Structure 1
Amino acid sequence: MSLQKNADHEFRAHADHHASLRLWLRLLSCTTRVEDKIRQKLRESFDITLPRFDLMAQLERHPEGLTMGELSRRMMVTGGNITAIVDQLEKEKLVLRQVGANDRRSYTVKLTKAGRDAFADMAVAHEAWVADMFAGLSDNQQSQLYTLLGALKKNLQKQEEMA
């Protein structure tokens, strides 16, 4: 591989940068590489985008359905983005949009049977891809990394609460 192909976020870090900055750039580089690989695999294997997969994952966890606003908050994207994704999935009969029971201006979105079946297949493949990407780490290393990232997450949450 060429140097340019290997260049990523971490490429910007230098030995004289603070260790925290180098760590952040390495974490960002790893996250970006994993996400890019998942995007590619979803596209190749299921002809679906990561945002559509993520929306279906949210709905799979909530069989009663979620409102468009809840989906927007959970996925941290605008309502317009959610509407576009739901429109696509609805055309493919993977989701069903229903007028809200308490508010006729809102919609609840649910997976259809076809959507649940399609997502189940994608979820199995997704888990295998992730396991394969982390296979270079031993079980102990994965456990250590999980623990360390948990400590970082806890510290970040604590800082948010204090702000």
Structure 2
Amino acid sequence: MEDEEQLDLASRLTNDHHQSLKLWLRMLSCTVKIENEIRSRLRATFGITLPRFDLMAQLERYPQGLRMGELSKRMMVTGGNVTGITDQLELEKLVVRVPDPKDGRAYSVKLTPAGRKAFATMAAVHEGWLTEMLQDIPGADKAQLLELLSDMKQKLRTAP
């Protein structure tokens, strides 16, 4: 009987493991599908890459600017990547580097007025694209997905 219980427990763990894997792959495939479409539309419509759009989105949330390390952390990319993206946006006069008054060796990055204007236009169009892509999902389903994903995110934070 003990062997049967062990087999049953192993079977349940395998099923749960398989279900967790399927869930992860389904979420990932949806994310990649949306991300690829957004990436393509940003390039075709605005001539901008998704990482450049993401950096500008971070700066839009923090008008006082963000230090490079903070940008790197928020975007989950290396400091070198942030530096390269910032260099490109600075050449286009969409961002500016400002010396950090608390640390003379460091600086913050801010959107310029032109950068704010460009981002506002892109963000409105971006939101429209997402609304269009997700239009066939009923509002109640979106609300349920948001709730489930919020719960999942909270549980992931507290996982050992």
**Pairwise same-fold verdict (TM > 0.5):** yes
- Which ranges in structure 1 are unaligned for 5 or more consecutive residues? 1-14
CA–CA distance in structure 2, aligned partners of residues 38 and 145 of structure 1:
21
- Structure 2 counterpart of 1:137: 137
CA shift for structure 1 position 105:
1.3
Query: What do the CA deviations read for 1:90-140 (whole angstroms, capped 9, x no partner)?
Result: 000000101211212111110001000000000001100111111110011
- Structure 1 counterpart of 2:29: 29
Q: CA RMSD in A?
A: 1.3
Query: What do the CA deviations read for 1:62-116 (whole angstroms, capped 9, x no partner)?
Result: 0011111111111111111111001000000000101211212111110001000
SS of match in other structure, 2:105 = coil
Normalised by the length of structure 2, the TM-score is 0.87
Question: Which is richer in helix?
Answer: 2
Runs (4 or more) in structure 1 with deviation over 2 Å come to: none
CA–CA distance in structure 2, aligned partners of residues 93 and 39 of structure 1:
22
- Structure 1 counterpart of 2:149: 149
SS of match in other structure, 1:106 = strand
Paired residues for 1:50-129 under 5 Å:
50-129=50-129
Aligned amino acid, residue 139 of structure 1: G
CA shift for structure 1 position 34:
0.6
Query: What do the CA deviations read for 1:10-45 (whole angstroms, capped 9, x no partner)?
Result: xxxxx9x71221111111100000110110010011
Structure number with bigger Rg:
2
- Which ranges in structure 2 are unaligned for 5 or more consecutive residues? 1-14
CA–CA distance in structure 2, aligned partners of residues 123 and 158 of structure 1:
32
SS of match in other structure, 2:117 = helix
Aligned amino acid, residue 157 of structure 1: R
Aligned amino acid, residue 76 of structure 1: M
